């Protein structure tokens, strides 16, 4: 049996992941705050040591820090990957994750949405000329900017997803406009604009469960195919895992 150890299970995304996992009959083990600090001991004491395990962290940066430091002190046997859905990590924390990725694959994702992954791939895809979509747009005289909107309780602005899409489009964070209003789950639009015309690529999240479904889909692929020990973004990992 394969197990997903979930840190941040009491949060909104954590609850969605548990609900979606139950519908898919996936084995989810919840980690409370005490479990987070002793996770390596839990890993060693599994009833079936040979079973595959994934650590899925949707807590806060503080929880990620505790888990990372704990994993750095052990050999990580039986752990297929450490998947992180929290953002806002310090430079020092990213260095620790980079060090940890020499022992176990680390997937650091700003957004588990499969649609956002497609958005990135569209922006990075090569056109007939050989240029990326974004570079071709600039050559044709279009000005690029990104707009994003989330609910009022979202703390970071611009969001990690907006930064990821901006990077894929080759634009700076100064070209991102952010709105925090009502209960909007998430909307991101890349604008290609010039004086007489405009083109928009937009991703809209209709339900929070899409993030849970994307996280679990990633975990299923990680159980099926072992990644090399290194650091991955969500798109890097999926490009390694998906076979077409």
Domain assignment of residue 177, given as a range: 114-204
Residue 191 is predicted with a pLDDT of 97
Q: Which portions of the chain are predicted below pLDDT 50?
A: none
- What one-character DSSP code corresponds to residue 75? -
The DSSP bridge pattern shows strands 53-57 and 79-84 to be parallel
The alpha carbon dihedral of 213, 216, 222, 228 has a sign of positive
Could you tell me if 103 and 159 lie in one domain?
no
User: CA–CA distance from 4 to each of 35, 112, 189, 216 (Å)?
Assistant: 14, 16, 33, 9
Residue 91 is predicted with a pLDDT of 92
Q: How many CB atoms lie within 10 A of CB 170?
A: 15
Tens digits of residue pLDDT in 37-77: 778 777 777 656 567 899 999 998 888 999 999 899 888 87
Could you tell me if 150 and 70 lie in one domain?
no
Overall domain count for the chain:
2
Say which residues have a Cβ less than 8 Å from residue 123's Cβ, sequence separation at least 6: 132, 133, 134, 165, 168, 169, 190, 201
Residue 47 is predicted with a pLDDT of 57
Residue 223 is predicted with a pLDDT of 94
Could you tell me if 158 and 214 lie in one domain?
no
Residue 195 is predicted with a pLDDT of 93
| CATH (domain of 41) | 3.40.50.720
Residue 82 is predicted with a pLDDT of 96
Q: How far apart (Å, rounded) are the C-alpha atoms in residues 54 and 93?
A: 20
Catalytic positions, written as ranges: 150, 154
Tens digits of residue pLDDT in 178-195: 999 999 999 999 999 999
Could you tell me if 63 and 161 lie in one domain?
no
Question: H or E stretch including 179?
Answer: strand 176-180
């Amino acid at each position: 049996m394969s197990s997903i150890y979930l840190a941040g299970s009491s949060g909104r995304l954590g609850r969605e992941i548990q609900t979606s996992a139950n519908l898919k009959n996936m084995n989810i083990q919840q980690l409370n705050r005490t479990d987070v600090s002793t996770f390596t001991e839990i890993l060693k004491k599994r009833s079936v040591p040979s079973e595959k395990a994934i650590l899925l962290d949707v807590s806060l940066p503080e929880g990620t820090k505790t888990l990372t430091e704990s994993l750095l002190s052990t050999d990580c046997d039986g752990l297929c990957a450490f998947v992180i859905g929290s953002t806002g990590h310090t430079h020092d924390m990213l260095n620790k994750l980079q060090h940890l990725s020499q022992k176990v694959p680390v997937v650091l994702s700003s957004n588990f949405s499969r649609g956002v992954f497609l958005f990135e791939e569209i922006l990075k895809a090569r056109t007939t000329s050989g240029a990326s979509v974004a570079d071709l747009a600039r050559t044709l005289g279009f000005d690029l900017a990104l707009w994003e909107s989330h609910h009022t309780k979202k703390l970071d602005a611009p969001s990690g997803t907006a930064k990821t899409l901006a990077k894929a489009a080759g634009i700076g964070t100064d070209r991102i406009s952010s709105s925090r209003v009502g209960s909007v789950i998430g909307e991101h639009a890349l604008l290609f604009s010039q004086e007489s015309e405009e083109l928009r690529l937009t991703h809209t999240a209709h339900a929070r469960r899409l993030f849970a479904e994307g996280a679990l889909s990633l975990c299923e692929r990680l159980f099926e195919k072992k990644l090399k020990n290194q650091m991955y973004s969500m798109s890097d990992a999926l490009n390694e895992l998906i076979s077409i």
